[in-house]
Amino acid sequence: MTIYEVETWKVKPGKEKVHEEALRNWLKWVSEHRELFPEWKSLRYMVKYIAGEETERHMMLWEYDSLAAFEEYKARRKDYTGAYAEYKKVDPYYMDVFEHTTMNVEVWKPLDLEFWIE
């Protein structure tokens, strides 16, 4: 069953431009190294646009074939060894651009797929 990893965060005040550049650089790097992420069925990046206090909350949405695929990827990348050492160098998480106290990570599973409208 497909699952989704949802990560949300707010940008550290004064780091908006650096954050934007870091995210674009990370997305480009990931696109150029897709072989390191075979479990990712899709990746989407969004920002809340009209949400009161939550306006400007950023969200990354990863789609995996299964919980097992999610766990396999996380286990392989956990120590940032091998090719993942380079990945860590471009990961914005380590660049002091996130308000880490605002971060949330959740895993969601879809329900009632027969009623989805696509």
Residues ≥6 apart with Cβ < 8 Å to 109: 1, 2, 3, 4, 67
CATH fold for the domain made of 3-110: Alpha-Beta Plaits (3.30.70)
The pLDDT tens digits of the residues spanning 34-63 come to 999 999 999 999 999 988 888 999 999 999
pLDDT of residue 51: 82
* Side-by-side strand order, sheet with 58-64: 40-47, 58-64, 3-9, 104-108
Name the token pair of 5.
């990893």
pLDDT surpasses 90 at 33: yes
The domains of the chain are located at: 3-110
Name the token pair of 41.
């069925």
The pLDDT tens digits of the residues spanning 85-114 come to 999 999 999 999 999 999 999 999 999 999
> DSSP label at 65?
S
48 Rama sector, left if φ>0, alpha if ψ -120 to 50, beta otherwise? beta
Indicate the pLDDT class of residue 9, thresholds 50, 70 and 90: very high
Indicate the pLDDT class of residue 21, thresholds 50, 70 and 90: very high
> DSSP label at 6?
E
Q: N- to C-terminal Cα distance for the chain?
A: 18
Would you say how long the chain is, in residues?
Answer: 118
